Structure 1
Amino acid sequence: MAALRTDRAGPGPRAHRHVVGDARQPGRRGRPGLAEPVRRPDIEELYHHRRLSLVRLALLLVDDLPTAEDVVQDAFTALFRRHGGRLASLDDPEAYLRTSVVNGARSVLRRRRTVRAHVPHAEGHAPAPEEDVLLHEDHREVLAALRTLTRRQREVLVLRYWSYLTEAEIAATLGLSRGAVKSTASRALDALGRRLEGLR
């Protein structure tokens, strides 16, 4: 899974922790040992700092850059409509967005299966030129192998090795138990290893 972890142009999942500047007023001494208050990012900051990594996450799940961009845009739109621009009522906006992106990708894949069941099989997806910015040549074997996994296996591996989530975070995102996440990841890695070995 090293190819999933390399060459990340965007900020990491836990980057960009925003804090208020020194809360002490000029001429007044602050209390020693008190941490500065943490300020949550608003939706504009989240969009600026997290959009690219979320598009990459969606792209790994849906294999189509324009669709991945739509999924992420829909997630931000739903976030704004439900919680407003300041996000004061939301404890973890990034987790909300990840879950929205995964659910949006699932909806896309369900619609694709329905369409494919009723129309002749179309030619394979030809990557848009922009995908070269997001996915480099050394990723292609891994991506091809990922497409052979089940939806759940793929989601677990992408969230673990691309988004660097813990088992607990993956469980919360996918609505699974930690045990299910662990066993799914083990089976997925075994299947991925066999597939990559067969490509060599």
Structure 2
Amino acid sequence: MVGEWASGAERSAERSVERTLGHLRVLDTDEHPPQRPATLEDLYRQQRMRMVRLAILLVDEPATAEDVVQEAFTGLYRQWSKLRDTQAAVGYLRTAVVNGSRSVLRRRKTARDYQPPHPGNERSAESLAMLTAEHQSVVGALGQLPDRQREILVLRYYGGLSESEISEVTGVSKGTVKSTASRALNALQKILDAQ
């Protein structure tokens, strides 16, 4: 994704992120092998936990992630009868989860601007229990990145999306996706080096 001109630090950060989020993606795929959903209920059973994990990586809070995913499924339910292809439903859900996560982060930022700062939400022990120490440090470092940078890395390495797909989901150009990913990997490596 970064390209041949990437610095050594960016390549190192990319390998770390790819190992960590790729590990989570493989766990999700092993847990729920992809099948063509026939009903909304099938889709819910197949995709709910994957979407919750995506939301957790974006908003860093399990309860809020659950709410974001529930809203995404509620929106899909309202549109289900108009859907021509049930495979498109997964893309709809992914976009809805990303947009819902953005809304949550905007509300958090607004709330922080009007309230005294408080300690951030710590990840639960359960959410990190299946990760090695290296993976835990990468997930922790992801949480320190600006929202858009974290979003793009999560969609690329956890979601397994291409630059074009990320561009479509986030509503930014492919060039912006590429440059943001490069900056994110560079910043992530600096955070990991400082740990």
Short-chain TM bin: 0.7 to 0.9
- Determine if contact 1:11/1:49 at 8 Å carries over to the other structure: no
Distance in 1 between the 2:113 and 2:148 partners? 21
* 1:92 paired to 2:99: no
Match of 1:120 among 110, 116, 122: 116
Deviation at 1:169, TM superposition (A): 0.7
Unaligned 5+ segments in structure 1 are 19-39
Task: Give the secondary-structure state (helix, strand or coil) at the position aligned to 1:11.
Answer: helix
Query: What is aligned with 2:13?
Result: none
Query: What is aligned with 2:72?
Result: 75
Query: What is aligned with 1:151?
Result: 147
Q: Alpha carbons of 1:69 and 1:117: their partners in 2 closer, same or farther (altered >3 Å)?
A: same
Residues 86-134 of structure 1 deviation map (CA, whole Å, 9 limit, x = unaligned):
843666111111110001001101111111112222233133454246x
Query: What is aligned with 2:156?
Result: 160
**165-174 vs 117-126, which moves further:** 117-126
Deviation at 1:181, TM superposition (A): 1.1
* 1:192 paired to 2:188: yes
Q: Alpha carbons of 1:128 and 1:144: their partners in 2 closer, same or farther (altered >3 Å)?
A: closer
Distance in 2 between the 1:156 and 1:15 partners? 24
Distance in 1 between the 2:126 and 2:65 partners? 12
Unaligned 5+ segments in structure 2 are 1-16
Distance in 2 between the 1:137 and 1:74 partners? 32
Query: What is aligned with 1:22?
Result: none
Query: What is aligned with 2:136?
Result: 140
Q: What is the aligned residue count?
A: 175
Distance in 1 between the 2:50 and 2:76 partners? 17
Deviation at 1:81, TM superposition (A): 0.9
Q: Alpha carbons of 1:127 and 1:184: their partners in 2 closer, same or farther (altered >3 Å)?
A: closer
Q: TM-score, normalised by structure 1?
A: 0.78
- Determine if contact 1:154/1:188 at 8 Å carries over to the other structure: yes
- The 4+ residue runs of structure 1 with deviation greater than 3 A are 86-91, 126-130
Query: What is aligned with 1:9?
Result: 27
Q: Which amino acid aligns with 1:59?
A: I
* 1:104 paired to 2:100: yes
Question: Comparing both structures, which one devotes a greater share of its residues to helix?
Answer: 2
Match of 1:58 among 45, 51, 55: 55
Q: Which amino acid aligns with 2:27?
A: A
- Determine if contact 1:57/1:162 at 8 Å carries over to the other structure: yes
Q: Which structure is richer in relative contact order (CA contacts within 8 A, separation 6 or more)?
A: 2
Question: Which one has a bigger Cα radius of gyration?
Answer: 1
Query: What is aligned with 2:7?
Result: none
